[in-house]
Amino acid sequence: MSLNTRIKGAQALAEAFQALNTITNLTTLALQDSQIGDNGAHALGEALKTNSTLATLNLEHNSIGENGAQALAEALQTNSTLIGQDGAQVLGEALKTNSTLATLNLRSNSIGDNGARALGEALKTNSTLPTLNLRSNSIWIKGLLALSDAFTPVLFKSLKTKSSLTTLNLGCKSIEDDEAEALYGALKTNSSLITLDLQSNSIDDNRNNSIGSNGAQALSEALKTNLTLTTLDLQNNSTGDNGAQALSDALKINLTLTTLDLWHNSIEPKRTQALAEALKINVTLTTLYLQNNSIGDNGSLALSEALKINLALSTLDLRGNSIGDNGAQALAEAFKFNSTLTTLDLQKNTIGDNGALALAEILEIKSTLTTLNLWHNLTGDNGTWVLDRVSQAVALRIGYF
């Protein structure tokens, strides 16, 4: 049985939570956006101490602070069923003894630094938690600093030896250089993490209070030796040219990364060339998102040369990159040689009829491409007509609108 509700008011919350144990088939309780706060968390904690059926608890967007989190933590020391499929809020001491929690979602609350320290300490000994989400929270990474090791976050330090954590979401954190270096240092030896989300972290080479060139270099070094990470999300970070160069160097050596998201990272043609050189060597990356950068026709030419050689990439997203007819013609030329790319997204560029005709001419002769998106370009009736004819002949799905 599942229950989704938005109960308001401390008294109503207390009464509702007291009644939890009378519902013998309740397995899922969704309380997102219910404003339960610390008082509600305390009441819920008391109910959870004796509840024996609840398996999933969602407490997103509830302004639960350190006191409320502590109450929930104490409850889960005795609760034996809660696994937190989509938002269970628990910190610290509970994780040290709880053996069932599979997903910890702390997104959009106000746990604070003290609770974050407890979380980091617990991760040193917890051996079951595979997924941790700390996105959009008031937990600052500095809250994870160990008292005995003032410059190494406890959470990151625990990654060096932790064997169960596979997904870590640190989006929207404004991670600074020292914190980034600690994280990436842990990644060098970590043997469990598969997905790392660092989107919207102001990873910028020219901005204070952000991951600068030192952090980007540390990430690059970690990717050279890490043997498990397959997905890295760096979207909306303004990494810029220096960051792109560091990542390119890593891609020449890394043997596990399959998905890299560099959406909106201020990458210009010069560093697109560096990425292209890496793609000529890399044999594992299958999906590359480069939308909303400044690649232009010159960057497209560099990528085209890489695609002639690359044997792994299947999806390339180049939306919103000021690519015109010359860039489209260069990419079309690559399809004479490429045998792996199946999806090419060119939405929101400036490709006209000449570029469309070049793509159509090559695709009609030889291509493994199954999806081509040209929505919001400058293609006229002539180019559109030719592409439509080609798509019908070679079973290519083309999107315009």
What pLDDT, in 10s, does the model give residues 174-232? 666 566 667 787 888 888 899 998 887 765 544 433 455 566 677 888 999 999 999 99
**Residues near 58 by Cβ (< 8 Å), separated by ≥ 6?**
29, 30, 31, 32, 85, 86, 87, 88, 105
Give the amino acid at 292: N
- Checking if the pLDDT of 348 tops 60, the result is yes
Cα–Cα dist 90/92, whole Å: 7
In angstroms, the CA 43 to CA 68 distance is 9
Tell me the backbone φ, ψ of residue 371, rounded to 5 degrees. -135, 125
Phi/psi at 3 (nearest 5 deg)? -135, 125
Of 349 and 113, which is predicted with more confidence?
A: 349
Supply the pLDDT for residue 321. Answer: 97
At 364, list the tokens. Answer: 């009609």
Q: How far is CA 401 from the centre of its chain?
A: 28
Distance CA(395)–CA(73), nearest Å, equals 55
Point out the least confidently predicted range of 254-268, 308-322, 358-372: 358-372
Mean pLDDT on 70-88:
53
Task: Name residue 133's beta-bridge partners.
Answer: 105, 169
Fill in the DSSP letter of residue 260.
E
- Report CA-CA distances (Å) from 277 to 3, 171, 251, 311: 53, 29, 10, 13
Cα angle, residue 87 at apex, residues 81 and 90 outer, rounded to 5°: 65
In sequence order, the 6+-apart residues with CB closer than 8 A to the CB of 133 are 103, 104, 105, 106, 107, 167, 169
Check whether 257 has a pLDDT greater than 70.
yes
Average pLDDT rounded to a whole number, residues 45-56: 75
pLDDT tens digits, 140-174:
444 433 222 322 345 566 666 655 778 888 777 66
Q: Which of 95-99, 107-111, 133-137 has the highest mean pLDDT?
A: 95-99
Q: What is the pLDDT of residue 140?
A: 44
In terms of average pLDDT, the best of 91-100, 267-276, 292-301, 364-373 is 292-301
**Mean predicted lDDT score pLDDT of the chain:** 76
Give the separation between CA 145 and CA 151, rounded to whole angstroms.
7
Kindly state the percentage of the chain with pLDDT values over 70.
Answer: 63
| Assigned token pair, 132 | 């941790």
pLDDT value of residue 154? 52
Q: What is the pLDDT of residue 119?
A: 64
Mean pLDDT value of segment 308-330:
97
Q: Which domains does the chain have, with CATH numbers?
A: 51-399 (3.80.10.10)
- DSSP code per residue over 28-76: EEE-TT---HHHHHHHHHHHHTT--S--EEE--SS---HHHHHHHHHHH
Q: How confident is the model at residue 130 (pLDDT cuts 50, 70, 90)?
A: low
What's the confidence (pLDDT) of residue 36?
80
CA distance 70 to 261: 36
**Nearest Cα residue to 400 out of 368, 376, 366:** 376
